[in-house]
Amino acid sequence: MTMPGKTPPGRLNLDCVVPREQDVIAAEADQDVVMVSIANGLYYAVSDIAREIWEAIDRPKKISDLIEDLTATYNVDRHVCEEETFSFLEDLRTEGLLQVRDGTSS
């Protein structure tokens, strides 16, 4: 069942808006961020650019804006940045750590 305003399962795109799932607790641990999903009881850890993405989606953020920020901060090809960002966000979504909303209607 798809919730109103959420993108149904399928491919992420630049217009999607991605906030963190609300039932995830996160805390800093040295250079990493450690997350616990209340829904599935699993622990996760991210560092470096993955940590920066996690922190950036503390509030809903359009994927195109996220990629724009990353390419402005790091010396990375936009196409490579898109591929890596989509891959990471898809991993977060698969694990239930990410909400996905269709940003074209907002």
Tens-digit pLDDT profile for residues 8-46:
456 899 999 999 999 999 999 888 999 999 988 999 999
What's the N-to-C CA distance of the chain in angstroms? 21
Residue 84 lies in a domain: yes
* Strand order through the sheet with 101-102: 61-62, 16-18, 101-102
Residue 103, pLDDT score: 74
User: What is the enclosing helix (H) or strand (E) of 92?
Assistant: helix 78-94
Domain extent, residue 79, equals 16-21+48-105
Residue 43 lies in a domain: no
C-alpha to C-alpha distance for 104 and 51, rounded to whole angstroms? 26
Residue 31 lies in a domain: no
Residue 78, pLDDT score: 95
- The number of folded domains in the chain is 1
Residue 59 lies in a domain: yes
